[in-house]
Chain A
Amino acid sequence: MRLLLVEDNAQLAEWLARTLRRQKYSVDFVTSGDDADHVLQTEDYALVVLDLGLPDTSGLEVLKRLRGRGSTVPVIILTANDSLDARVEGLNSGADDYLAKPFEIAELEARIRAQLRRANALQSPVVQCGALAFDSNTRRFTVGTEELTLTRREHAVLERLVLRAGATVSKASLTNTVFSLDDEANPNAIEIYVHRLRKKLAGSGIEIVTLRGLGYVLKQTVVA
């Protein structure tokens, strides 16, 4: 899951990004409205955390432009102004949720999960594919009762695949999910992560099938 964090206080942005990365999210952060507007047009995010008090283009303006482009990406507004009017205006401008500073990290994380769950049309926080289960609350993968230990990028690839289990996931969309702005995006690296995941999933009854020229499909191994 790739998230965009827009927050003008560079320290807060950085520490929030660090905290969220530990939850195996890919996080990009920008500290100005103009930058946010720019990356939102070029990159594909699963969710945006948006501060309203930005030094140049205001957060509300960024949000209005984003919705104006027809994007449905979930947006959580983060701001120091918790007045009723500001909340209403934020939600009316197309935000999905609103969190006032100083917020608890646990609450921000819970709201991010809730928005992602809704965006992926999940009924339950736990996604199951055969023996493989992904708990979107704890953000952990388990095979049977055993926890699967994954790196952040492996996690990103598998999360994307499991959320669309049984369907084809293009290599391009995997690349976009896995690499943040700071990374050198290398589509070939996806193959390496898939290779490692196959190893870790060996014997679980779950396989990642390569469809040449199309992408990958996560599915249960058909027992002959």
Chain B
Amino acid sequence: MWRRSLRFQLVIGLLLPLSAVALLQLAVAYQTAHAIAGRVTDTLLLASARSIAEHVSFGEGGIEAVVPPSALGIFDLGYGDRVFYRVETSEGRLLAGYPELPVPTRRTPSDPEYVNTAFHGEAIRMVSVTQPIATPAKTIESTIVVAETTRGETAMSGALWRQNGGQQMLLVLVALLVVWFSLRRGLAPVLRLSEEVGAREPDDYRAFSAGALQTELRPLVTSLNAHMERLRKQMDAQRRFTANAAHQLRTPLALLRTQASYALRAGDGERQEAARAIQSTTNQLARMVNQLLSLARSERAREATRFEPIDLVAMTREILEEQAPRALEHGLDVSFDSTSSQTDGVLGDRASLRDLVSNLVDNAIRYTPAGGSLAVNVDESDDGWHLLVGDTGPGIPPEDRAMVFERFYRRQERDAEGSGLGLAIVKEIVETHGATIALRAQPEGTGLVVDVCFARRVPELRS
């Protein structure tokens, strides 16, 4: 969890590179301090050596060296360093100093030579210079070696880079604090928004204000609000539907109560009639409840991805066989024909497609007067499969064709028995399956043909 924290990520993201830079700077500072301290030591060593060299001369006792106190005194910087020296002639005669102090090998005789080594168990830095000494016979070379323990140098360079390092650490610390607090300030609007979202009533779909939110975060609020708007529309549609459904169920219930109370008060003959009426009303109610369930099912199918290959021909034939007795009783001529050779070309949800075919056939039977005919075809064409349900009923005038797909829309008073849901269900299923639906009159200009076309491609689920 904490790995996902913005603070953690930013702090780590900043701390690592910043520390790396700080370390690099420390290393550079260490080197610089070391170099500075080295230069100071070397300068002192050389000055001391030169000062001694000036006091090497040819006197009464031959070549002699007098070491002036100042030549050694300049090293006294308070670090307690020890100073060693050695003066000798080129022939190897020791003039002054420590005979055991090593003499560095000279690479270029004219330049001073600096060497780091150890003496008496302590690290030392030494310099050796040559000084020509004029004697009456000839000029001979003398070598002056001055060495100092490195305590002072180490202490000086340490002091130098510790100070520098402290500054670096302070910089990193300040950077971290700045990140922490500005993050806290920066996150405050987001946290406020989050609280606002959390405190919302479930039925409150008003847009959230971007308020003090940073420009970069505004798209979040924009898309949140767009989502709220979609939710609101969906909830409104749902509420309208529920209200409509309740409305539609109440009227048949009122009818049922009226008929029942009539039956209770009626004589034997009338009671029989009322009982039949009650039965018919109950059937209507049952049909309406089934339609509502079927609508709910088609809405669920929209989310489901369990589409399977369906044999539309077999399914349609099966449903027609089931419904044919009702159609015959109604005095209708029923026919079925198919030109489709492929048996499972349509991909779809089985239960929904059954609802679709049933509703279309049921509507045709319901609205076609006795003596008419009902012709169903499943045709295969270039663009896909066409389910054609044709009847010789009253048809639907072109201006009403868009309206009939609305839920609970009933065109005429005599539709009162219908739920007003049949075609709404059909349309829902058609959309779920990426199919199209068209209403037209029969070629002779009367009746109705419902043409549902299932495209040849794999249907895309509507989001």
A40 CB to nearest chain B CB (Å): 18
Q: Report the Cα distance A10→B412, complex, angstroms.
A: 11
Also in contact, A15 and B247, with CB within 8 A (given A10-B413, A55-B410): no
- CB of A123 within 8 Å of the partner chain: no
Return the contact of A101 from the options B251, B261, B412, B417 (Cβ within 8 A).
B251
Q: Report the Cα distance A158→B378, complex, angstroms.
A: 67
Return the contact of A81 from the options B247, B252, B262 (Cβ within 8 A).
B247
Instruction: List the B side residues contacting A81 at CB < 8 Å.
Output: 243, 247
Instruction: List the A side residues contacting B247 at CB < 8 Å.
Output: 53, 80-81
Q: How many residues of A contact B (CB 8 A)?
A: 23
Instruction: Provide the main secondary structure of the chain A interface.
Output: loop
Instruction: List the A side residues contacting B246 at CB < 8 Å.
Output: 80
Asked whether, in the complex, the Cβ of A105 is within 8 Å of the Cβ of B261, the reply is yes
Asked whether, in the complex, the Cβ of A19 is within 8 Å of the Cβ of B413, the reply is no
Interface residues of B in 257-289 (CB under 8 A from A): 257-259, 261-262, 265, 277, 281
Asked whether, in the complex, the Cβ of B416 is within 8 Å of the Cβ of A18, the reply is no
Asked whether, in the complex, the Cβ of A105 is within 8 Å of the Cβ of B251, the reply is no
Asked whether, in the complex, the Cβ of B258 is within 8 Å of the Cβ of A19, the reply is yes
A11 CB to nearest chain B CB (Å): 6
Asked whether, in the complex, the Cβ of B413 is within 8 Å of the Cβ of A15, the reply is no
- CB of A9 within 8 Å of the partner chain: yes
Instruction: Provide the main secondary structure of the chain B interface.
Output: helix
Return the contact of A102 from the options B257, B265, B277, B416 (Cβ within 8 A).
B257
Instruction: List the B side residues contacting A103 at CB < 8 Å.
Output: 254, 257
Asked whether, in the complex, the Cβ of A80 is within 8 Å of the Cβ of B251, the reply is yes
In the complex, which range does the number of interface residues on chain B fall in?
20 to 34
B280 CB to nearest chain A CB (Å): 8
Asked whether, in the complex, the Cβ of B261 is within 8 Å of the Cβ of A12, the reply is no
Asked whether, in the complex, the Cβ of A10 is within 8 Å of the Cβ of B416, the reply is yes
- CB of A26 within 8 Å of the partner chain: no
Asked whether, in the complex, the Cβ of A102 is within 8 Å of the Cβ of B410, the reply is no
Asked whether, in the complex, the Cβ of A11 is within 8 Å of the Cβ of B416, the reply is yes
Asked whether, in the complex, the Cβ of B257 is within 8 Å of the Cβ of A105, the reply is yes
Instruction: List the B side residues contacting A121 at CB < 8 Å.
Output: none
Return the contact of A12 from the options B243, B248, B255, B265 (Cβ within 8 A).
B255
Also in contact, A8 and B416, with CB within 8 A (given A81-B247, A104-B261): yes
Interface residues of A in 6-43 (CB under 8 A from B): 8-12, 15-16, 18-19, 22, 31-32
Q: Which residues of B contact A (CB under 8 A)?
A: 243, 246-248, 250-259, 261-262, 265, 277, 281, 410, 412-414, 416-417
Q: Which residues of A contact B (CB under 8 A)?
A: 8-12, 15-16, 18-19, 22, 31-32, 53, 55, 80-81, 100-106
Q: Can you offer 17 A-B residue contacts whose CB atoms are under 8 A?
A: A8-B413, A8-B416, A11-B255, A11-B281, A11-B416, A12-B258, A15-B259, A19-B262, A22-B262, A22-B265, A53-B247, A80-B248, A80-B254, A100-B250, A102-B257, A103-B254, A105-B257
